[in-house]
Amino acid sequence: MDCVKMLKNKGYSKVEEENQSHYVEDQRKHYSKSLIATLSTVALFFLTLLFVLALVRHEPAESATESIRVACNVTRYPNSCFTSLTSFLSNTTTTKAMDPQAILSLSLRVSIHELSNLASASSLSVDCRELVDDAVSRLNDSLSRVEAAPKGLTEVEMADARTWVSAALTDQQTCLDGLEEIGSSNASEVKTKIERCGEYTSNTLAILANFKILA
């Protein structure tokens, strides 16, 4: 009987050892997969960062158009950014390379111009008009702050400008959300205009957020 018990105990111990071995192996595989996933995420992050830096950290731009193209690469809407800024720039005599602060100022002017045109539209609702007027005011505050710092923007000045531009973008989004509830025939046309203005303001905010990288 004792022999039988010993054999059973040995058999049980062997099973336990095998189960423990499988558990350790499973844990090792799980850890390896987690480690690989983490390393892949980190690697993707740094590759993305290097890609962005490669877009903006190259040889100094030789023309205003090239300067704008580089700056617009950091925005969410690079095509509308480049088209709107170069189109607005064509009304000036500037052809030489532009620094980030000059491009930021130009982007603010484009946003203000588009929003000002929108504010004068007769199809705009009263609520939307107030929001657009507020957005224009905030962007003008940002422009004044940017152009009043010829030697470069300080951290405080950049923070103020970001706050105002962000608020202007929120005003436009609030107006856009309100239009979703309007069933008039003009709603679609106004919505398209506000979306375009929103893109321009978003581009301005992106240039401002990446100001140090572009400098």
Contacts of 68 (CB under 8 A, 6+ apart): 81, 82, 85, 86, 89, 98, 103, 106
Q: With a cut of 70, list the residues of the chain below it in pLDDT.
A: 1-61, 93-95, 182-186
What is the residue extent of each domain of the chain?
8-58, 64-213
Altogether, the residues listed in the chain come to a count of 215
Number of Cβ within 10 Å of residue 91's Cβ equals 7
* pLDDT value of position 172: 95
Give burial (CB, 10 Å; 0-12/13-18/19+) of 43.
Answer: exposed
Q: What's the CA dihedral at 40, 77, 99, 89 to 10 degrees? A: 160
* pLDDT value of position 18: 58
- Residue 157's nearest CA partner among 141, 135, 133, 136 is 141
* pLDDT value of position 45: 56
Q: Does 64-213 carry CATH code 3.30.565.10?
A: no
Largest pairwise CA distance in the chain: 106
